Structure 1
Amino acid sequence: MTDLLIDIGNSRIKWAISADGQLRGPGRAAAHNALEGLFAEWLQLTERPSRVRMVNVAKASVVNRITAWLQVHWELAPELVHTPSDGDVIHVAYSQPHRLGADRWLAMLGARAAGCLPACVVDCGTAITVDVVDSAARHQGGLILPGFPAQQAGLARLAPGLPSIQLPTRTPFLATDTAGALASGHIFGTAAAVQGVIRRCLAGSSERLTPVLTGGDAPVIARYLELDVRLRPDLVLEGLASLP
């Protein structure tokens, strides 16, 4: 029996197939406006999944289109995962646990399943979320800062005269043109912020935390950090796979 796991983020949709609580290979990604290509990939699967689990932090319209496709082609209704209110598995620090984003809860669950606890979990997407969870799976709290897409969108709106750029995987620190300066600022500034936050989390914990980076921009950010981290790009999907 296999499961189709779907992580609908603010910018992209990541998905994977799992069996017996483990991913069958790395997650794949598609943009919100590329659903037809995503559906074509699913039709090429050698084994039709028996269950679909999905987490969503984006517009309901994306969920609705995927749900309709699953019903028509496979007669499956996806299970939409939410953060539980009873502190099951991960004890959430929020006074109202259900208000914690389900993607953050699943990332911590994935870190637990991967044997990474106690951990500082950093999910590098449109928003960068940081959550500390101790060895007893108790969430200590977290914070949110803008990721690369949010920074670029903010500058485009507030400073429209600046050029639009595609972020390179590597860039010099001191740039000699405006596009390069934007790329350097995004990458080095974000890496410095993430590194500073991780170090404060490490210093403030009574346990030896493992910094774990996940999300689409994690490989780029990890390259510019001056500390040891574990890179697990599909931690939210791993969390989905670990659900009973």
Structure 2
Amino acid sequence: MVASVEPLYLDSGNSRLKWSYETEAGVFKDDIELCTFAVSHQIKQIVLSTVTARYTSNTLKALLPSIAVHEVSVLNHYLGLELAYEDVTKLGVDRWLNMLAVIGESTRCAKIVVSMGTAMTVDVINQKTRHVGGYIVPGLTTQILSLSERASALPVVEVIGSTALGVNTLECIGNGVLKSASSLVEVLAKEWRAEHAVVTVTGGDGLLLSESLDVQHDYRANLIFEGMRAYWLAHLNT
């Protein structure tokens, strides 16, 4: 196999190590899968987004010493995106990359970027490409686990995709957490209607949220990798 100049993109989230390479994407279950893939595909460069200490540029260099590793850091005004945070290093790199993925689209519209994972994050970008702020709330599973831990009589349930009023405890919990998440997005979309807000949904539970939303939106499962590619292309041209 001929070595490619295309980097291996890695997203180390709170619960999974996701990857994207050329036209493929997936999840590495462990270090063995990661190393096997990197060697078999003759990877020369890794571009890493991480919100955990498990995978950093240093830990990856220890695993794969012959491969160059570039760890993405949040930068203000990158690709024209002005950030709301006074200390931009405190903004999650995953949130930033998701925003980079959409800022070049529909320039006369505000953007609402929603990522549904362990945490649900929501970020709003106005028509002037300024990040005006966002929300971080517990994700669907996190809410359910928290309820069960705090109230032992409440079971851990699976969210099945309905937001209808529940007629038993399982439905009341599962439908309720999904309804709360979808309502947050729908209310925010209405608040930003004057700026013709475009809603984009991503994340591990993004499809569940997408199917429950009553507002026009796009669901993009690999949004963070779109942002990473935009970041890396600009980085190479600087």
Q: Give your verdict on TM over 0.5.
A: yes
1:86-101 correspondence runs (5 A): 86-89=76-79, 90-101=81-92
Correspondence for 2:203: 215
SS in 2 for 1:61: coil
Indicate the structure whose relative CO is greater, using CA pairs within 8 Å and at least 6 residues apart. Answer: 1
Distance 1:150 1:106, change over 3 A: same
Correspondence for 1:21: none
SS in 2 for 1:123: strand
Correspondence for 1:124: 116
Taking structure 2 as the reference length, the TM-score comes to: 0.83
SS in 2 for 1:28: strand
Matched, 1:28 2:26: yes
Distance 1:10 1:199, change over 3 A: farther
Correspondence for 2:165: 174
Structure 1 residue corresponding to 2:43, chosen from 38, 46, 49: 49
CA drift at 1:103: 0.9
- Unpaired segments ≥5 residues, structure 2: 234-238
CA drift at 1:66: 4.3
Distance 1:236 1:125 in 2: 13
**What do residues 139-174 of structure 1 show as CA deviations (whole Å, max 9, x unaligned)?**
122222221122123113211332222322x33623
CA drift at 1:5: 0.6
Matched, 1:196 2:194: no
Matched, 1:70 2:74: no
Distance 2:166 2:182 in 1: 17
Mapped contact 1:6–1:54 kept (Cα < 8 A): yes
Distance 1:37 1:217 in 2: 26
Distance 1:120 1:81, change over 3 A: same
CA drift at 1:67: 4.3
Distance 1:67 1:182 in 2: 43
Distance 1:199 1:11, change over 3 A: farther
Correspondence for 2:147: 155
Correspondence for 2:236: none
Distance 1:172 1:120, change over 3 A: closer
SS in 2 for 1:78: strand
Mapped contact 2:117–2:204 kept (Cα < 8 A): yes
CA drift at 1:214: 1.2
Taking structure 1 as the reference length, the TM-score comes to: 0.81
Correspondence for 2:54: 61
Aligned residue identity for 2:37: W
Distance 1:144 1:70, change over 3 A: same
- Unpaired segments ≥5 residues, structure 1: 19-23
% identity of equivalent residues: 27
